[in-house]
Structure 1
């Protein structure tokens, strides 16, 4: 009897030991599964954060490209508008001067208006505007002032040059003044006449460019920019004795152009 009881108790103990071991294994597997699931969730969250960061960077780069393209388009638009305004100014000047009986020449790209010696009376070696030509010179200044002041045009302009020019015949004037001095004094003579004869509201030295600097500049180029070469007949030198009204427009600065160039070179601008 005792032996039978001991045998049954041993069998039950072995059976209980088996189920305990199995339960421990299942518990361990469950813990491992939970840990693996947690690790997977952490990994997924990390990947999601990285993806979100990457998408945010893509959006930032796209926004930068759009801003760069917009800035570039705006500069191109400004240059195009400035070129249109310059051509409009000089074309209107030519039309009004010719209507007043003053013949002038507009160059091919509509950036320079040439006033020949026939309109200002510059003889060989002469820089003074004779009394017979002063009324005509005043009309030129009046029309120039009126045209520039129309529709806020000066904001598109950088400088209006009043350029004096000579023919190629060497000039020896007082104080050893050569063709450089002669051409400069021609421009100065015209500028001084405008200063003396134009009304207060028409004064050209009151005009400013987009940066607030004086719009006008007076200079001389001697015979370095001829329009008729170096002819044989002295009378044919006259076209080079002239005043040019040259207009330069507002353009991007060198730094702005360098930035645009670098952006397109590296492919950061669309």
Structure 2
């Protein structure tokens, strides 16, 4: 009996190293896909939050404009003429409404009723609805003209402008009805809504001061309304994610 020798050689097993490499690459691909999905979800979440913050900012801008416009109109109806700055952030009270004498900072009796009504109107327009929630700080700012003033123990116009702002704030705090006093108000961080500062002659309305009219414009109290803005970290988070998604 003759055995026939087969010419067919058995097939070798697959290279185990190649198989391991394929498995590793497959696992890495899955991880890459999962990481991409997570990144996309994070980006969508941050983008949605960013859009919401932008909408809140737009709403705050609208609320501030409403506050200023309504304050001007309510005061006009009472015969009190105030102004709004060009960028619509400041309620400007000219010195003739408060009657500060040269070098003086106390509100004289004949001007106190006007000062009281200004405070009452400010309380009305910011206490309406939920407007306070859109505000960060309201600054009572004192300003002077650029003529040198040697008083206040050498503090000059800096001291004069600051004391005038303080006088108005203290007058409101003492004379307004307790339920309407502005010092009762806080922003969303629980901090006092109002703050007081003096700028001397450093922020003039009329930069050219050649006569009494220019001096008059610069002697004033400004009520500056600042609004709540998204935290810078929110912007940076979205910016980082957008940058990563493009790599």
TM-score higher than 0.5 here? Answer: yes
Correspondence 1:184 to 2:181? no
Match of 2:153 in 1: 175
Q: Report which of the two structures shows the higher radius of gyration computed on alpha carbons.
A: 1
C-alpha contact (below 8 Å) 1:129/1:190 kept by paired residues: yes
Q: How many residues align?
A: 246
Deviations 1:21-69 (A, max 9, x none): 43x957x34xx4xx44999998877665444333322211211221221
TM-score, L = length of structure 2: 0.88
Alignment of 1:37-186 (within 5 A): 49-186=27-164
C-alpha contact (below 8 Å) 1:122/1:242 kept by paired residues: no
RMSD over equivalenced CA pairs, Å: 2.6
Q: 2:207 aligns with which of 220, 226, 229?
A: 229
1:230, CA displacement in angstroms?
3.8
| Structure 2: runs of 5+ lacking an equivalent | none
1:178, CA displacement in angstroms?
0.5
Task: Give secondary structure in 2 for the equivalent of 1:175.
Answer: coil
1:203, CA displacement in angstroms?
1.2
Structure having greater relative contact order (Cα 8 Å, sep ≥ 6): 2
Deviations 1:187-221 (A, max 9, x none): 01101110111111111111111111111100100
| Structure 1: runs of 5+ lacking an equivalent | 1-11
C-alpha contact (below 8 Å) 2:89/2:225 kept by paired residues: yes
User: Separation in 2 of the partners of 1:242 and 1:74?
Assistant: 38
Larger mean CA deviation between 213-222 and 255-264 belongs to: 255-264
C-alpha contact (below 8 Å) 1:204/1:216 kept by paired residues: yes
TM-score, L = length of structure 1: 0.81
